A = this chain, B = another copy of it.
Amino acid sequence: MIIVLKAQTTKKDETAVLQEIRRLGYKPHVMRGVARTVIGAIGDERSNKSLESLIAWSQVESVTPVQKRFKLVSREAHPPDSNIDVRGTVIGGRKVQVMAGPCSVESEKQLMATAEAVAKAGATILRGGAFKPRTSPYEFQGLGEKGLKLLAKARRETGLPVITELLSEDHTELIAEYADILQIGARNAQNFQLLIAAAKTGKPVLLKRGLSMKIEEWLLAGEYVLANGNRNLLFCERGIRTFETYTRNTLDLGAVPIVKNQSHLPVVVDPSQGGGRADLVSAFCKGAVAMGADALLIEVHPNPKEALSDSAQQLSLEAFGRLMEDLKPITAAVGRE
């Protein structure tokens, strides 16, 4: 930690800070500058107590950590890329995986039609929401367990592993019984109890970025999963909240190279939530692949016009087929499949 003292700090006030630094397990190192005195506190910031309480001292101007706060998710902890194996489908390897399916599972007919079409077009994982977090209590909340059973049926018929959202600790066992990947949604990205519950299932966890989550906070939320014994974590960029109103969210594609650089874990991009508009999905997918995404998570519906949720952002089966074709040259251009 680096502690900067205010100008004109007395000797006595400085000594008090030095004592506190020692008390918390660090070795202080004083540097007298032209305008300020700076103290380096030497010691392991993750095993000693935090020095951030020093900011409450009237003679202290700032306290800055030197070490990163995340550990197990960091590239330093594990220099090579991590691959996540989902029933034989590997995310983080040479192949860019495509997870596709409806926003919500609405009916057997809707799901089966979608699952077959996306499998045929080349998707390798099936997505579908059974429990849906909705801004208003009056909106469609998903089919619940019935939806999970339909997903299991679609998996049997197509062979595609299944990803679905976990939004309540109370559903953990139930979801883990049916799903191959547990999705944690943006609104629950700092619901740490849910992250711990998901981690403990041992199943792969896909952690969406919260609407106003800094990258460091996102990595630390992921740290909850690894610190609870589960290394099968995927980070998923799905758009952040900004002042722009043209799109529902602002997809932060820069997060792809940044997280790939800071962490060894795979990065997924959700272009459907990212912009909230079907007409932007294709461009977002191209950008995501060009920038190094390991997988895409795409909403597809046999009839977007009648979807019970997020109709504006779901692709039709035909549009999804075209998209898969369009992505091929880009995928090849970055040396992937």
Contact = CB atoms under 8 A, between A and B. Distances in A.
Interface of A: 2, 4, 7, 20, 29, 31-36, 38, 40, 42-46, 50, 52-57, 64, 66-67, 69-71, 76, 133-139, 167-170, 187-188, 190-194, 211-212, 214-217, 220-221, 223-224, 227-228, 240-247, 250-254, 256-258, 261, 274-275, 278-280, 283-284, 286-292, 304-308, 311-312, 314, 329-330, 332-334
25 contacts: A2-B64, A4-B66, A33-B43, A35-B44, A36-B66, A36-B67, A38-B40, A52-B312, A55-B311, A55-B312, A71-B138, A135-B217, A137-B223, A138-B223, A211-B212, A216-B246, A242-B242, A242-B250, A244-B252, A246-B258, A247-B258, A250-B252, A251-B253, A257-B283, A289-B290
A35 B240 contact: no
A53 to B, nearest CB: 4
Nearest to A212: B212
A254 B240 contact: no
A14 to B, nearest CB: 15
Contacts of A32: 42
Contacts of A35: 44-45, 66-67
Contacts of A134: 192
Contact of A258 (B139, B227, B274, B280): B280
A167 B36 CA distance: 36
A190 B279 CA distance: 28
A268 B43 CA distance: 41
Contacts of A304: 53, 56
Nearest to A331: B333
Nearest to A141: B192
Given A2-B64, A192-B167, A217-B135, A57 B305 contact: yes
Contacts of A245: 214, 245
Contact of A187 (B190, B220, B286): B190
B192 A212 contact: no
Nearest to A289: B290
A280 B305 contact: no
Contacts of A133: 190, 192
Nearest to A328: B333
A62 to B, nearest CB: 8
A40 B31 contact: yes
A280 B307 contact: no
Nearest to A211: B212
Given A247-B258, A251-B253, A283-B292, 6 more contacts: A35-B66, A35-B67, A40-B40, A135-B221, A137-B228, A286-B291
